[in-house]
């Protein structure tokens, strides 16, 4: 592990000997990356999740904790995180997955959680695929034609154009339930409603890019971009080729400024043949672009100190591609053999660096144990693997108590104190 620079440690020692960070979403590879970055900066790191195993269990420098499930259980989840904050004197809570929505709701309900994330209303605005496009358009950005679908008739009205469209739920992730260029006869199971709206988005031809950014008070602190070179069908990627994307950085900066954003924000783009880069959707959470900052503790400094650096932090020039080696073998190799791209797969396998660990490391063994536990639970409960792995933290736009109840006003003093304490 790289020794953190003295000036970074000096910045983190302000107020007391060592800053303390709680990272949630410990089941995810990016949680380990985030933990390592904070440790490089000299912080004391805790990692928590509701799963039986978290990858960070293999990091001897980390303290791990078990939480209740978040979805449909916001009060118990928020109270558990608040208790960890109190018990361990946590300075800041950094979520990496969709638990950010539940934590933001808990904070606004009154739980004293010093959360590195914007208000729930901002998270909703960005995560909703329809309102995100409206925000981008209103901010002067070029966007694909997008239409909201709130009833079955809205789908039927698209019959003549369905082959030219991409249909997806307003709240979804990893390409789940997305339909690309599907004829209307194959869309019988798409039944949008006011509570579960979909979008019909113009189908774009072009090159795909993804980006990860950190912003503080509406100003970009860090930005990385990558191409999803190998993926499962047209869903989640497992090989990430770093690239320069200056127009993507400008788009991220515009959106951060428009929302006075503080937190982590990830974007998907398509560059159309004419050369214009269009944002198509947003995930206000960590994604795999974080892996490109693995040896840059300056990222942790920006988060902890609450100030964006004068020069935006970007991955180093020689940063190699990041990958999930297991997925490259399990999914990537069969894909390559079917498509006749074995030589490309082999080249990329040699060039890439595993996102968080190396073969035979404690992190690798812990990751295998975690996956095995998911598979076993899926078999016993007869639930899908996706539901086992993410069902207790996902958020599909359900209204939280903090958005509908005046009870939040009764505890707003604690919320204000938590926000002020983050950067005091």
- Using left for φ > 0, alpha for ψ between -120 and 50, and beta otherwise, residue 110 falls in left
Q: Residue 111's pLDDT band (boundaries 50, 70, 90)?
A: very high
User: Which among 243, 244, 240, 245 has a CA at the least distance from the CA of 352?
Assistant: 240
Pick the more confident residue, 166 or 420. Answer: 166
φ/ψ of residue 177, rounded to 5 = 65, 10
Strands (E) in 42-189, as ranges, are 44-49, 63-66, 92-95, 146-149, 165-169, 179-180
φ/ψ of residue 257, rounded to 5 = -65, -40
Q: Residue 161's pLDDT band (boundaries 50, 70, 90)?
A: confident
- pTM over cut 0.95: no
- Element at 228 (helix H, strand E): strand 219-231
Please check the confidence at residue 241 and state whether its pLDDT lies above 50.
Answer: yes
Q: From the centroid of its chain, how far is CA 79?
A: 23
Lowest-confidence region among 5-14, 126-135, 218-227, 308-317: 5-14
| pLDDT score recorded for residue 116 | 97
| Contacts (Cβ under 8 Å, ≥6 apart) of 330 | none
Please check the confidence at residue 159 and state whether its pLDDT lies above 80.
Answer: yes
Q: From the centroid of its chain, how far is CA 421?
A: 25
Q: Residue 28's pLDDT band (boundaries 50, 70, 90)?
A: confident
Please check the confidence at residue 408 and state whether its pLDDT lies above 70.
Answer: no
The chain-wide mean pLDDT, for the chain, equals 86
For 362-406, what is each residue's pLDDT tens digit? 776 677 677 777 677 667 777 766 666 666 788 888 888 877 665
Q: Where are the domains of the chain?
A: 6-120, 145-202, 205-356
- Tokens 């100003």, residue? 219
Q: State the helix-helix crossing angle for 246-259 and 120-127, rounded to 10 degrees.
A: 140
Q: What is the mean pLDDT of residues 71-88?
A: 95
| pLDDT score recorded for residue 180 | 87
Pick the more confident residue, 337 or 172. Answer: 337
| pLDDT score recorded for residue 13 | 44
| Contacts (Cβ under 8 Å, ≥6 apart) of 230 | 237, 238, 239, 323, 327, 328, 331, 332, 335, 345, 348
| pLDDT score recorded for residue 16 | 56
Count other Cβ atoms within 10 Å, centred on residue 272. 15
User: What is 205-356's CATH number?
Assistant: 3.30.470.20
| pLDDT score recorded for residue 8 | 44
Lowest-confidence region among 103-112, 169-178, 344-353, 400-409: 400-409
| pLDDT score recorded for residue 181 | 85
Tell how strand 277-283 and strand 63-66 pair up. Answer: unpaired
Tell how strand 263-271 and strand 237-243 pair up. Answer: unpaired
User: What is 6-120's CATH number?
Assistant: 3.40.50.20
Lowest-confidence region among 34-48, 91-105, 380-394: 380-394
């Amino acid at each position: 592990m790289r020794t953190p620079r003295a000036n970074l440690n000096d910045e983190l020692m302000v107020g007391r000997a060592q800053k303390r960070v709680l990272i949630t979403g410990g089941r995810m590879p990016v949680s380990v990356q985030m933990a390592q970055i904070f440790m490089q900066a000299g912080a004391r790191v805790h990692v928590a999740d509701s799963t039986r195993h978290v990858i960070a269990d293999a990091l001897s420098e980390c303290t791990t904790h078990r939480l209740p499930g978040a979805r449909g259980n916001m009060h118990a989840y928020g109270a558990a995180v608040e208790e960890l904050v109190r018990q361990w004197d946590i300075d800041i809570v950094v979520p990496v997955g969709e638990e950010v929505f539940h934590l933001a709701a808990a904070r606004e309900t009154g739980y004293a959680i010093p959360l590195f994330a914007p208000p729930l209303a901002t998270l909703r605005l960005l995560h909703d695929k329809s309102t995100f496009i409206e925000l981008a358009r209103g901010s002067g950005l070029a966007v694909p034609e997008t239409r909201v679908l709130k009833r079955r008739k809205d789908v039927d009205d698209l019959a003549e154009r369905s082959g030219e469209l991409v249909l997806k739920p307003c709240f979804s992730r990893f390409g789940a339930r997305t339909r690309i260029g599907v004829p209307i006869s194959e869309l019988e199971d798409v039944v949008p409603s006011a509570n579960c709206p979909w979008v019909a988005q113009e189908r774009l031809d072009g090159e795909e890019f993804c980006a990860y950014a950190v912003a503080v008070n509406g100003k970009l602190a860090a930005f990385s971009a990558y191409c999803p070179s190998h993926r499962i069908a047209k869903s989640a990627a497992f090989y990430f080729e770093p690239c320069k994307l200056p127009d993507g950085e400008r788009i991220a900066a515009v959106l951060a400024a428009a929302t006075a954003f503080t937190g982590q924000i990830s974007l998907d783009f398509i560059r159309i043949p004419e050369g214009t880069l269009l944002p198509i959707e947003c995930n206000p959470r960590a994604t795999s672009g974080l892996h490109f900052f693995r040896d840059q503790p300056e990222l942790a400094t920006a988060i902890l100190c609450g100030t964006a650096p004068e020069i935006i932090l970007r991955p180093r020039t020689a940063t190699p591609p990041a990958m999930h080696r297991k997925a490259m073998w399990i999914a990537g190799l069969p894909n390559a053999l079917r498509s006749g791209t074995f030589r490309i797969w082999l080249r990329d396998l040699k060039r890439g660096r595993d996102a968080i660990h190396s073969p035979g490391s404690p992190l690798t063994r812990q990751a295998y144990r975690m996956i095995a536990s998911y598979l076993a639970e899926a078999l016993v409960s007869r639930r899908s693997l996706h539901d086992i792995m993410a069902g207790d933290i996902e958020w599909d736009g359900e209204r939280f108590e903090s958005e509908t109840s005046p009870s939040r006003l009764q505890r707003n003093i604690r919320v204000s104190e938590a926000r002020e304490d983050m950067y005091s």
